[in-house]
Amino acid sequence: MTIAITAFERSPDGGKGLARDTRVRWALEETGQPYEVHLVSFAEMKERRHLALHPFGQIPTYEEGDLALFETGAIVLHIAEQRAGLLPEVRNARARAITWMFAALNTVEPPILDLQTAIIAEGGRPWSHERLPLVMDRIRARLHQLSARLGDADWLDDAFSAGDLLMVSVLLRLRTSGILAEFPNLTAYVARGEARPAYQRAFAAQLAMNAPSAG
């Protein structure tokens, strides 16, 4: 059955792979599934046709036969449950991998999103220079904890899983901030994720659509 996902017609990041369709592409590449990409503009995302797929008018979405999904975490979990490669077979290890998926999205990503808000949406406010260090310190506190747990392991819980896929994707958003570089083991962890052939294919595919010279 054909899988179709949606992505930005032109990502605001110009192909750095930070829009969330990259996470879905990566999961599909890890599990060896071909997929189509339907590109949508910001205006189209808010139109009835797209809202039927995504109630909040965002990307990515996922369609497979009569199944339509939104929310990247749910999409990646669905993909991981269909094919081998992203979740362990053993029940407890599988539950721990899913726990890391939630940790990435619910515990580590929120302060990182707050940084984007502080820089992009609030950067011009008179109080932003006071708020920014607080936001950065909240990220550092989470990264200290994550770094301590990872230690010198390659992945968060033995073998690479959908939990690592989401955690690496979340941490990638920090690269330009310089905070990630304060944590050598997390920097190496992200590099290991990026070096995976499936990530490379996902990144190249989104870059082909989003690079300034594309289309």
Single residue of 3, 28, 37, 45 touching ligand GTB by CB under 6 A: 45
- Is 61 a residue that touches ligand GTB (CB under 6 A)? no
Output 152-161 pairs: Cβ under 8 A, ≥24 positions apart: 152/185, 154/189, 154/192, 155/189, 155/192, 156/100, 157/93, 157/96, 157/97, 157/100, 158/88, 158/93, 159/88, 160/196, 161/80, 161/86, 161/87, 161/88, 161/97, 161/100
Please state whether the peptide bond connecting residue 60 to the residue before it is cis, i.e. omega within 30 degrees of 0: yes
Contact between 168 and 105 (Cβ < 8 Å)? no
Distance between CA atoms of residues 46 and 90, nearest Å: 41
**In the complex, least distance from residue 118 CB atom to ligand GTB, rounded to whole angstroms:** 15
**In the complex, least distance from residue 130 CB atom to ligand GTB, rounded to whole angstroms:** 25
Single residue of 3, 5, 15, 18 touching ligand GTB by CB under 6 A: 18
**Size of residue set near ligand GTB by CB under 6 A:** 13
Closer to ligand GTB by Cβ: residue 122 or 185: 122
Closer to ligand GTB by Cβ: residue 70 or 93: 70
The residue of the chain with the least Cβ separation from ligand GTB equals 58
Token pair 């054909």 is found at 2
Footprint of ligand GTB on 65-104 (CB under 6 A): 71-72
- Is 13 a residue that touches ligand GTB (CB under 6 A)? yes
Composition of the chain by helix, strand, coil, percent to 5:
60, 10, 35
- Is 206 a residue that touches ligand GTB (CB under 6 A)? no
Burial of 65 (0-12, 13-18, 19+ CB in 10 A): exposed
Query: Which range binds ligand GTB by CB under 6 A, 57-65, 78-86, 121-129, 142-150?
Result: 57-65
Closer to ligand GTB by Cβ: residue 97 or 172: 172
Single residue of 19, 39, 119, 211 touching ligand GTB by CB under 6 A: 19
Tell me if residue 35 falls in helix, strand or coil.
Answer: coil
- Is 39 a residue that touches ligand GTB (CB under 6 A)? no
Residues that bind ligand GTB (CB under 6 A): 11-13, 18-20, 42, 45, 57-59, 71-72
